[in-house]
Structure 1
């Protein structure tokens, strides 16, 4: 495995192997170089075994395949500790650079880029059984220990606006209340049945009708639920795209305190690739 061999991959093969486009990879490399130049890295440091391009590829490969540091180190012919340092350093520098950052909770308040309709959902990532306080991480829905990720997206553009994280035993609605997110009154919210009662906090929110006891749903109620399911299906597709990266889709083995940082980075990278697609298909203006 080396950078010269990877350069020979076509666009589709590169996307499959690393989970991002070549344009995104080049942007990440440019961001890392700019960050290191602005922070005046000392030239007296020992020259790294891998260049910046190779370090970014190692990080992408780790996110995409989520192999152990040992197996990735074997592929790149370096030590296991070197791979660990590279991944942590690239992640930290990307966060500190500010290039890959989500709009945040402030985007849900009144402003120029305020979304008209937002969709909120929670997805779960399995984790290894904790040594302490196991019941806090046990999800009755998944019947295993998990970490929860709450995503809020702009329904029209598919952009991820903000995230929040919690333990597996936390209910979806409780996670929303703990996040401290406030939706502007003019924003329409579409949510699943896990957010029953959210209309007390945001009157312009809609959730499916639950089947009453000893009675079936009416045809009108079934049609209403079908319309809501169609409106919120986009966030399920986004969850699937994020879980292409096995570090987010498979059992998370690392320290849990870094889970949120990595999910935010992957979400911001998804937004960047979404903007590339919008720019590509944007119709040119007539001069």
Structure 2
């Protein structure tokens, strides 16, 4: 019969009870933590070593042009994204490798390749079958990894690159307190295929969609704004600039309508010109969002999974913000 004795606490017992003791012993735990840390570092080095030789990152990272072409971001930006979610990606890889210990049967991607492939997917919206063929992976594996990495990007990158300051009304500029902050708002559609069900065709009909059908169907712009929760942040010093589709809310600045039977005054025309000039920025942003084919083409995912769609939009918005930081909109 095998027994053990803890040199630190002096306790002993049957070998079958050792692991229960080790997890709760103040003397054994530090050794256990060191062992875990060492294994984690070894695994991290092993996974990172794959980056240099495993495609597609080994090919795309050869030049900025290739990296931008495939992911929409240069090498420096991809590395910055990776630094934000490195530990989560490594944890995901470690978990998957425990499930599939024989890597000759179940190939896996390194953490950097997971990120690069997901950026590629968001940019071009290739089918999972195509990605699986290109990377010699199973289709179910591709489906799972894309979902998981999008979740990781949402938890690590979205909050880092998109935030609404709680103290925006108190923010100061180099010239002193900002008297008025303007939030420019607009809506756009995500096209979907024509539903087979007649009830769904009614529910998801949208005349402005290229397919005549869109996520959430035809919803008035002001309803979208009210449901977004953004109105909770507006006040005298924080206002929203919108088009005429958003008339009806306090602290929402919209172009002035032409009076019935009369012309706009010069003051009104100048006001509208300023509003439209400011709104040009949001039109530019919408165009940038649509350069990601997952939003700009026809969405093939479940049209009733609004939580997932929202998460994808938020991740793409964060990626656009990263590009905006490097390539701002011209004023």
TM-score (norm 2): 0.67
CA displacement 1:19-59 (0-9 Å, x = unmatched)? 12222211233334312557894563325522122221211
Q: Which runs of 5+ in 1 are unaligned?
A: 148-166, 279-287
TM-superposition CA deviations, 1:114-140 (whole Å, max 9, x none) = 872210110111112333433232123
Corresponding residue SS for 1:184: coil
- Please identify which structure carries the higher helix content: 2
**Could you say which structure has the greater relative contact order, defined with CA pairs below 8 angstroms and 6 or more residues apart?**
1
Give the paired residue count: 253
The farther-off stretch of 56-65 and 30-39 is: 30-39
How far apart, CA to CA, are the structure 2 residues paired with 1:249 and 1:228? 26
Is 1:229 equivalent to 2:288 in the alignment? no
| Runs of at least 5 residues in structure 2 that lack an aligned partner in the other structure | 1-54, 173-177
Residue 67 of structure 1 pairs with residue 126 of structure 2: yes
Find the residue that maps to 1:28 and give its secondary structure: helix
Q: Say if 1:213 and 1:12 are closer, same or farther in 2 by CA, change over 3 A.
A: farther
In the other structure, the counterpart of 1:158 is none
Determine the structure 2 residue equivalent to 1:22.
75
Shift of 1:237: 0.9
Q: Secondary structure at the match of 2:183?
A: strand
Alignment match of 2:142 (pick from 69, 80, 83): 83
Structure 2 residue 309 is the aligned partner of structure 1 residue 262: no
TM-score, structure 1 as length reference: 0.76
Paired residues of 1:21 and 1:273 also in contact (CA < 8 A): no
Equivalent position SS for 2:189: strand
Q: Secondary structure at the match of 2:187?
A: strand
Judged with a 3 Å threshold, the aligned counterparts in structure 2 of structure 1 residues 52 and 206 are, in CA distance, closer, same or farther, namely: same
Q: Alpha carbon RMSD of aligned pairs, Å?
A: 2.8
CA contact (8 A) 1:100 1:272 kept: no
